[in-house]
Amino acid sequence: MPGSMSKLGGLATGLLACSRSGALSNQVRGVVHKSLLRLPSEHPEPWDYKHNGFNYIDGLKDDTRSHFHQNSKLIVVEGNIGSGKTTLAKQLADQLGFVHFPEFRMDDILVDRYGNDLRNYYNKFPARYRLPDISMFYKNPSGELSAAMQDRIFNCRFDQYLNALAHILNTGQGVVLERTPHSDFVFANAMRDKNYIGHEYFKHYYFVRKNALPQLHFWPHLVVYLNTPTNKCLENIKRRGNTDEIATVDERYLKTIEESYKDSLREYRNHSKILAYDWTKPGDTDAVVEDIERLDLDFFEWHSGDVMEEWNTIVDSVGWNGWRQYVTNKYDARMLAFDGIPKHEVGELYTNPRDTGHFLHVMRKEVLKSPYGYGYIAKNGDHQAGLNAWHTGHHLPEPWYEYYFREAYYDDLTSHETSLDLDSDSYDPDYVHHHH
Amino acid sequence: MADSTRVSEKEIERRETFIRAGHRARHLADPFTWSYPLKGASAMLGISLASVYLQNRWNKKPYYYAIVPRLLLIGAATAAGYAAGALRERHYQTRDAVIEHYMKLHPEDFDHFNDRSGRSFSQVLLPWYPRRTQYTRYD
C-alpha cells in the first residue's frame, strides 16, 4: 500500500499535536468563499494530470503538499432522487471556487471519444452487452441487466471518487462531488426492496463494496445531506416529466433510499463532517456557504476519533506523492478493489464467453471499424500517439483515463474467437438471432 | 600395415577441413554461412520483431504503439544476441589456443597422433613372458 509507512508517523504527529505550526504561527482558517481566498506566494501551477498523469518519478519535480491551501477540500452533496442536490452542488462549487463533479451517469461511458453511442449498436450486440442506462432501467427495471448496470455504476463511481481525489492532490482546487461509492448502496437497497436485483447479486454487491471502500483510503472532508421528504421528491420527479421515471421511482423506492441514507450518514459520521439540511423548501446556498466557512475542516487529534484522519496522518512528501500516484493512476486501487472476486455464483453477472467474442467482433467490424483500440485509429483522426507509453494498467495513448469502462476496458477484453482471428473475419451478424 | 589401408597426408588434411566454421563463402540466404555474432543478433532481432508484432495485434495496437521503449528493448535484445554469438566464437578460439599451447609444451604425450594409419600389435603391446603355474616343478 503506497504511503503505508506514513501511518507510523501518524502516531508521532498525534502526540505532538500541540506543536503544530498553525497553532503557534497564525490562526487556522477553514474553507472560505472564493473571493476571500489568498494563495501563498510560492503556490505552484496546477499539475495537468489529465495529460501528464502522475508517476512516482514525477514526485521529484512537483511536490504534492505545495498545492494544498485552505480550499483543498472534498465536499460531497448527498440526497434522495429529486432532492435538488445538483442545483446546490453547482452553486456551492461556483461560490467556493471548487470544481463541480456531477453525479455519474451511464451516458458518460456509453459514448466514446469518437462520438459513437454504443446504444445505437445494441441491436448488433449480444444481449449481455446491452447495458441499460438510467432511462432504459426506468423503462424496464425488472430486466436481466439491472444488476449488471448497478455493478457498472458502482465501478464507475469508484473511478469518479478517485478522479475527485486526483484533482485535489494534483491541483489543490477543491471538489464538490455528487454522491460517492460510500453511499451507492442506497440504490442497491432500493432495487433489492423492489426485486429489481436478486439476492445473489445483493450479497455480491456488499462483498465487493466491503472490499473496495478501504481502497479509496480518503473520506470526504464534508458531507452535505439534503433531507427532502419523499412527497417533495415525487413532486420534483413529476415536474421532470419522465413517465418511466415517474412509474419506477415511486414512494416505496424513495422511502427505502431515505432510510438507507440514515445508515450511510452513520457511516460517514466516523470519518467526515456532516451538514444536514431540511430541503423541503430549497434553502439558500449562501446559508450553506456560511455554515461551511464556520466549520473547522483542518482539525485532527490522533486520540479524538477518525474524523479527518486520512488527510492528517500522512507526514512526508513520499507519503503524499505515493497517494497522489495511487489516486491518479488508479491501477493499484482498481486491482485491490475489484480483482480476484469470484462471480460464478452471481447469475445476473454471468457473461457467456461466446457473447464476449461476438461483442469484440461487433466492436471491430461495426463500431470502430478497425482492428486497433481507442486512440490508435488513424482514419478516425487519431495521430500517432503512445510512442513513449511507459504507464501501467492500461494501453490508451493518454496516461490518464477518466472511467475504466469507457474505453480502457476494451484493450483488456479478449476471447477465444478474437485471439486467433485478429481481423474478425469470422464475424457473423446472425449470431444474435441464433438460438443458444 | 597394408598399403591399401594407408591414406595420404593430403587426403587426411582435406577430410578434416571439409566442415569447419568460416570455411564456406558467406551467403545471405544461408544463415549457416554467417558468423556467430551475426547469427545471434539476427535470431534475437527476428524473435523480438515477431513478439512485438504479435503483442501489438493481440492488444489491438498499431505498429507505433510504445515504439520508443520497444526499439530500445529490441536493440538491447539484439545486442544480447550479438554478445552471445561473440562469446561463443571467443570461447572456441580460446579453447583451441589452449589445446594447441598444451600440445606444444608436452609433445611426447601426443606421439600417437602421428600414427594416423595405425600401428602393428608389436608396437602397441607390452612384452609378455609366459609363466605357466602348473609347471612350477621345473623352475
pLDDT at A56 over 60: yes
Pick among B57, B58, B65, B72 to test the A interface (most A CBs inside 10 A): B65
Q: Does some domain include residue B78?
A: yes
Of A398, A428, A392, nearest in space to A412 by CA: A392
B57 and A419 within 8 Å at the Cβ level: the answer is: no
* pLDDT score recorded for residue A75: 95
Judged by a CB distance cut-off of 8 A, whether residue A125 touches chain B is no
Mean pLDDT (whole number) for B22-34? 86
Let me know if residue B10 belongs to a domain: yes
Predicted confidence (pLDDT) at residue A222 exceeds the cutoff of 90: yes
Q: Which domain holds residue B24?
A: 3-124
Bridge partners (DSSP) of residue A226 are A79, A277
Confidence of residue A411 (pLDDT cuts 50, 70, 90): confident
How buried is residue B49: exposed, middle or buried, by Cβ count under 10 Å (0-12/13-18/19+)?
middle
Q: How far is CA A331 from the centre of its chain?
A: 14
- For residue A390, the model assigns a pLDDT of 55
In a domain, B137, yes or no: no
Angstrom distance (rounded) from CA A88 to CA A419: 49
Q: Is A378 on the interface with B (CB under 8 A)?
A: yes
Q: For residue B43, with 0-12 CB atoms within 10 Å meaning exposed, 13-18 middle and 19 or more buried, which class applies?
A: middle
Q: Is residue B23 part of a domain?
A: yes
Q: How close is the nearest chain A Cα to the Cα of B67, in Å?
A: 5
Report DSSP state, residue A215.
Answer: H
Task: Compute the distance between CA of residue B89 and CA of residue B92 in angstroms, rounded to an integer.
Answer: 5
pLDDT at B115: 72
Q: Which residues contact A201 (CB under 8 A, 6 or more apart)?
A: A147, A150, A151, A346, A348, A349
Q: How far apart are CA A28 and CA A298, in angstroms?
A: 8
Q: Tell me the pLDDT band of A181, cut-offs 50, 70 and 90.
A: very high
* R_g (Cα) of chain A, nearest Å: 23
What's the structural domain count of chain B? Answer: 1
3-state secondary structure of A176: strand
pLDDT band at A28 (very low <50, low <70, confident <90, very high): low
Domain ranges of chain A: 61-338, 352-378+395-435
Three-class secondary structure of residue A224 per DSSP? strand
For chain A, report the end-to-end CA distance as a whole number of angstroms. Answer: 45
- Name chain A contacts of B58, Cβ cutoff 8 Å: 414, 419, 422
Judge: B57–A422 Cβ closer than 8 Å, yes or no.
yes
A358-362 average pLDDT score: 94
DSSP state letters, A388-409: T---SS---SSS--S-IIIIIH
Q: What is the CATH number of domain A61-338?
A: 3.40.50.300
Contact B74, B48 (CB under 8 A): yes
The A residues from 358 to 377 touching B (CB cutoff 8 Å) are 371-373, 376
Least-confidence region, from A132-136, A187-191, A207-211, A292-296: A292-296
* Confidence class for position B139, pLDDT limits 50, 70, 90: low
Instruction: Tell me which of A6 and A330 has the higher pLDDT.
Output: A330
Give me chain B's average pLDDT, please.
86
A419 and chain B in contact, CB less than 8 A: yes
Which one, of A300, A251, A243, lies nearest residue A273 by Cα?
A300
Residues in contact with A394: Cβ distance below 8 Å, sequence separation at least 6, in sequence order? A331, A401, A404, A408, A411, A412
Q: Which of residues 59-78 of B touch A (CB under 8 A)?
A: 59-62, 64-69
Task: Report pLDDT for A430.
Answer: 87
CB atoms A373 and B59 under 8 Å: yes
pLDDT, mean over chain A:
87
Cell numbers that stand for A415 in this block: 476471447
- Nearest CB among B57, B58, B65 relative to A376 is that of B65
The residues pairing with A278 across neighbouring beta strands, listed in sequence order, are: A227
Q: Are strands A74-79 and A222-227 parallel, antiparallel or unpaired?
A: parallel
More confident call, B43 vs B100: B43
A-proximal residues of B, 8-67, CB under 8 Å: 57-62, 64-67
Contact criterion met (CB < 8 Å) for B69 and A411 = no
Lowest mean pLDDT of A27-31, A336-340, B89-93, name the range: A27-31
Mean pLDDT in residue range A341-370:
91
pLDDT of residue A388: 75
Average pLDDT of the segment spanning B76-104:
93
Which residue from A109, A48, A63, A81 is spatially nearest to A398, judged by alpha carbons?
A48
- Least CB-CB distance to B65: which of A378, A389, A390? A389
- Please tell me the predicted confidence (pLDDT) of residue A245: 92
Q: Which residue has the cell 455528487?
A: A178
State phi, psi for A273 to the nearest 5 degrees. -80, 150
CB-CB: which of B57, B58, B68 is closest to A387?
B68
pLDDT of residue B105: 95
As a whole-number percent, the residues of chain A with pLDDT over 90 amount to 54
Q: Is the pLDDT assigned to residue A63 strictly greater than 50? A: yes
pLDDT of A281:
81
Question: Comparing A257 with A295, which gets the higher pLDDT?
Answer: A257
pLDDT mean over A148-156: 95
Shortest CA distance from A409: residue in chain B? B59
Please indicate, yes or no, if residue B131 is contained in any of the structural domains: no
Q: Which residues of B touch A410 (CB under 8 A)?
A: 60
Task: Give the phi and the psi of residue B49 in degrees, each rounded to 5.
Answer: -65, -40
A209: pLDDT strictly greater than 90: yes
Confidence of residue A18 (pLDDT cuts 50, 70, 90): very low
Put simply, the chain A residues between 305 and 334 with a CB less than 8 A from any chain B CB are: none
A390 against A106, higher pLDDT: A106
**Encoded amino acid at A13, one letter:** T
- State the DSSP H helix or E strand holding residue A222, giving kind and residue range, or none if neither: strand A222-227
What is the per-residue pLDDT for B46? Answer: 97
B139 in a structural domain: no
3-state SS track over chain B:
CCHHHCCCHHHHHHHHHCCCCCCCCCCCCCHHHCCHHHHHHHHHHHHHHHHHHHHHHHCCCCCCCCHHHHHHHHHHHHHHHHHHHHHHHHHHHHHHHHHHHHHHHCHHHHHHHHCCCCCCHHHHCCCCCCCCHHHHHHC
Query: Rounded CA gap, A149 and A136, in Å?
Result: 10
- Residue A434's pLDDT is 66
Strands annotated E in A49-136: 74-79, 99-101
Which residues in chain B are closer than 8 Å to A387, comparing Cβ atoms? 64-68
Does the residue B136 lie in any domain? no
Q: Would you say residue B134 lies in a domain? A: no
Q: 3-state DSSP call for residue A415?
A: coil
